[in-house]
Structures are given as C-alpha cells and as structure tokens.
Structure 1
Amino acid sequence: MSPIHLALVGVGKIARDQHLPSIEKSPDFKLVAAASHHGTVNGIDNFTSIEEMLAAVPAIDAVSLCMPPQYRYRAAHAALSAGKHVFLEKPPGATLSEVEDLHALAAARGLSLFASWHSRYAPAVEAAKGFLASTTIRSMRVIWKEEVRQWHPNQEWIWQAGGLGVFDPGINALSIVTHILPRPIFITKATLQFPENRDAPIAADITFTDAEGLDLSAEFDWRQTGKQSWDIIAETDSGRMVLSGGGARLSIDGVLKHAEPEQEYPMLYKRFAEIIRAGRSDVDIAPLRHVADAFMLGRRKFVDAFHD
C-alpha cells in the first residue's frame, strides 16, 4: 500500500520530540513538506505558511497540525478546504464550537479528521479500562502535577487566553479518565488558581460525579518540583488500582500488572492512517468539554505571579 503523503505544520518542540521521529518510522506516511514561522525540517520543502505550502505542493494527502490551539482552526479549515485529511494535536482546538465546525466540514468533504489524544495510547490504559469494566468503582483520584518550566520552557502561548494553562497537561488525564470509565462523568465543582500576571490557570481542583454518584476528584498543578506525578487511583471492589506514569504502568493492590515501553505517537499515526483508509473521522471532544465546563463552573482564585 502506497504511503500517505503528509505535511507537518508547526515545527516546534512537540513536533521535534514526537511527531517527526514517529513519522520517520511509520510505514504509513511519507513526509513531503512542512510549514512553520520559525522552524524547518531537513530534506523536504519548507514554507512559512500553510496556504503557501498547499498552493505549492498539490501532492499532499494529509496535514498534521502542531501549532498552539489558538491558531489551529484557520490552518485546519484551510487544509480541509484544500481536500486534505487533518491530524489535530491535542487539544483539538481552542473552543468546542470550532472543533465541531471542522468535524462538519470534514464530513461534508468526505475527509478524515483526527482529534488526537496521545495519553489514551499509553501502554497500560487499555488494561486499566478492562479492569474497571470488570468491577465496581467506589472512588477515583487523579493527581497530575508537573513542573511547567521543565516541560514548557519559555512557551508564552500556554499562559495566554486559549492556551489552557495547567489544563494543557491536565487534559491528558481527562482523556484517559473519559476513556477508561464505563459511564460519562460531569463536573460539579472546581477551583482554578490563576497567577495574578497570567490569563490561564496554574492549578485546579475539580470534583466530578456520574449518574450513579461516583466520587471522583482531580488535582492539577504546574508547580511540582522533584518527582513528577501523573497518577490515576481507583478504589474498587477488586482492589486498589493505580495507573501511574501517565498511563505507563498498572498496579492492583501494589502488584504490577502491566508495563510496556511508551509508543503513544507511533500509535497515533497508525490510527490516523487507519481512519484515512477507512474513510472515517475520530473526533471525541469529551476531554475538551470538561475543560470548558471547569472554566464555566470554576471559582477563580488569584495567586502569586508566575515568571519563567
């Protein structure tokens, strides 16, 4: 089967760390062009805008968008309008409405749109989902705490309106939780901590429930030093489940049940190829909806200014 001709838009940290290595190893894709205001990719044609790239390289079949979410809609709309399949880095957009509009446009043009959630492809996530489906869940705690200076050095866009702040990593936890739980959840209460000099939160405490009254809470914090925490802990009738390392390891009552090497982005590109060849889209906006609900319901608390 011939490889899908792919273009990459936004050659920044996530593109270099994850997308480019995964595309290079993928038998499904051939990278033929890139567009970025600041970065370039060796060995292919490079452009400064997606419009320029689409006009100059008609052989492109699909486009992977890695720019910040505030700027993704225009690029995705241009790519879909030009007849290209589109891969959206997480979060898929700055608002729910724009993602829904892109989904409708893709459907109208018979194209595939992929709202990617890389943490759902962490090695132990499916095992956790299977375990929870086999038992009764009594409560769940999500602890997602990391050091913003380590993972997002000097990235101003994450602190701007639409950049999501601590929900940029927190939405990874929400993407896992919404995938592994057997029923939909909804937010009942939230407190968002905003640095006095920023437009996006640095921490959040959220309470969720479901139709059967599940006790679920989440703690997101971008001020963690030392060991980073990406854990989902569930008390169940079959024991205490700990999904740790951002979904990398699953333990039940302290016994390690599942751990494999991380392959999140290679799996994302495998999935993107699958939906393109099947003529379908994969656009689940549940994690982004929960973020929007947190901003809607959340009580705002202002904290000390944050400086890189």
Structure 2
Amino acid sequence: MKLEDMELFVLVAEIGSFTKAADYCDIPKSTISRRVKDLEDSLKVRLLNRTTRALHLTQQGELFYEQAKTILGDIERIQSEIASEQSTASGRITVYAPSVFYHVFAKWLSQFREDHPNISLELLSRDNNAPLTDSKRFDLLLQIGQLEDSSLIAKKLGDVPGSYYASTHYLEKQGVPETPSDLTDHNIIFRELIFGEEPRWRFGDGENEQLVSFEPHVITDSAQGMLALVQNDVGIARLSVLHATPLVKQGQLAELFDGKYRFKHPLYALYPSRRYMPERVRLLLKYLEQALPQAVKQLTT
C-alpha cells in the first residue's frame, strides 16, 4: 500500500468523481483510476462502486476512508511538528566534549542559554579521542588535536594554545627544568588521548624541533584529573593555556621554559551530517566559532 494512493482515494471519495479529482491533481483520469485499483488490490477489498453516473463508497470503503483520514491527519501533524522543531531555535542539543571545555567555556555556554532560552544543553564529557559507540546519539562532538579517519563531518572552530606547567610547590621541591631534556628527571603526568599512545612530547621553537620520550609517573585520559594532579604537586603536565592561566595568576601553577615551547592544538566540532542540520545545532556551532577567539584572548591576557 502506498501513501500517495491512500491520499488519492480520500480525494476521490470526498470529491465524488474521478474526473474532478484528475482535474484537481492535474493528472490523467486513467492514472487515478489505476492507482485506486492498485490500492484495492493491495487490500483485497472493493472500496468504490462505480457506475456511469456516480461512484459510492462500499462498506469497507467507508471504514477505510475514516481510518485513512485519521492516518493522513496524523502524518500531516507529525510533518508540521518535525518541520517546526527543525527550523526553530528550540529543543535539546547533546554535546560530547573534553571536561576542560565545560570548565573554560561555562560563561559562554551560559550566555548562549540566555540568548536562546528554548534550547536545552545536554553536556557530556569525553576526555579521550576514542570513537563513540554507535549507541550514543549526539549532535556535536568537540575534539582537540589530530582527527582520525571518520564518517563524521569536521569543522575547525579554532586553535587552543597549550604549554607545560607544574605547581610552584613541586618546583620548589624538585627544581625547575631548564631544557626539555631535563624533563626525564622529573615526574611526568601524561594525558593519553589514544590507548597505547607512546609517552613523548615534541618541542619546537620555530627553528628547531626536539622529541623527548619519558616514563610517565601517572597516565590519565582526563583533562580535569590531570589538572588536579598538577595542582596537588604530583608532577609536570601539558595543559591548556586557557585552563592554566588563571591558576598561574593566583600563584598556584608556573609555566615552564618562559612559554618558549607553547603550542597550539586545533579544536574541531564533529557532527553526523551536513544535510538537514537542526537550526538549534547550527546556532550553537556558529556561536562556538565566535566565542573561541574571545575566550582565548580573554583568558590568556
């Protein structure tokens, strides 16, 4: 049974004529007659009694007409609701992102909610770059660093600066590394983005590059956990400048190497498809593109 045939049958039943229905739809009368017959064949019942002067609904035709009207009305209502939900700034947005993102961007996310009060945010943490399972539905997935091959669409939001930090208390006890190679004598907190990732850091000053491998003192996949470990004097870690700068200003952390080896990691927004992106998701994506440079400037100066 085809939905289009059901619609044509309801039209014929209401107009009471194949000819008038054909004129209304601007299609041949024979086409309408054939499609109504196809509908009857699929149901294995006669829906209309046809004479040379008129047509009438059979008993089964009357029953089917009432049910078809209800079904078509429900479909029209659903289409209207879906179209409205798709095109208006309302509904829920499910976002997976590193936990540090929510800490740094809390103010901006709050502003987005004030600007769009009918949009709700479901913010879920994802501190490593392992693929999400197929069972997890999301609208946006934010990821820092290199992208793996994926069927997802990627849009670069900007760059997130990073550097090397330790607590002032740790440095008082263990000494301050003067060069990257000195790190091999220190406790290193290594953030593992991909399981089995080799513990090493690349240092570059624009002219020369150096790769330093080490045996980590602690391995974690949590950005928030890594920050807590650094704050509690466990060792040295690579942190987002956005996250660390307020703690440096408070005297809790110190940036190593006078900021000489700062680096940048791209921040990407990943989403399932370019087609039919809901308006609420498009608005958040655009907002994040604008907010990231503001956050970098405000939190690093």
Query: Do both proteins adopt the same fold according to a TM-score greater than 0.5, normalized to the shorter chain?
Result: no
More helix by share: 2
Mark the structure with the bigger radius of gyration. 2
More strand by share: 1
Give the TM-score normalised by the residue count of structure 1: 0.29
